[in-house]
Amino acid sequence: MLALQVLYEVDTAHHSADEVLNRHLAEVERPASVRAYAIELVNGVMREMASLDQTISALAPEFPAEHLSAIDRNILRIALYEMRRGDVPLKVAINEAVNVAKEFGSETSSRFVNGVLGAAANL
């Protein structure tokens, strides 16, 4: 959730990822493991954003990454990054992304996220 909040703000307000991440980390005390994982996700997604967006656009050509809602785009970026890293089981990454999309996305977000990530898992 922390990584999603940071990436959403970076995407919509165009603030510096480091600035936003540091502010969010300072606002609420979190376990060291949560902080470390959020930092890894944010930095990894930022580093691989162009490639992640190309993957999204290839998997859903009718909905290129730049035309998605910021929440859906960043949920997909995080999940695809986790899937690429390989340390999170595919089903776990997909289920977490779908659940987050249900909570924060539109009425159709969870189905869309599930479809894109399911296609990614089959590559």
Locate the domains of the chain by residue range: 2-121
The CA R_g of the chain, rounded to the nearest whole Å, is 14
Rounded CA separation 98/4 (Å): 13
| pLDDT surpassing 90 at residue 123 | no
pLDDT at 73: 98
In whole angstroms, give the CA distance from residue 97 to residue 77: 10
**pLDDT tens string 90-111:** 999 999 999 999 999 999 999 9
The model's pLDDT over 20-73, given as tens digits with 9 standing for 90+, comes to: 999 999 999 999 999 999 999 999 999 999 999 999 999 999 999 999 999 999
- pLDDT the model gives residue 93: 97
Architecture of domain 2-121: Orthogonal Bundle (1.10)
Could you tell me the pTM of the whole model?
0.96
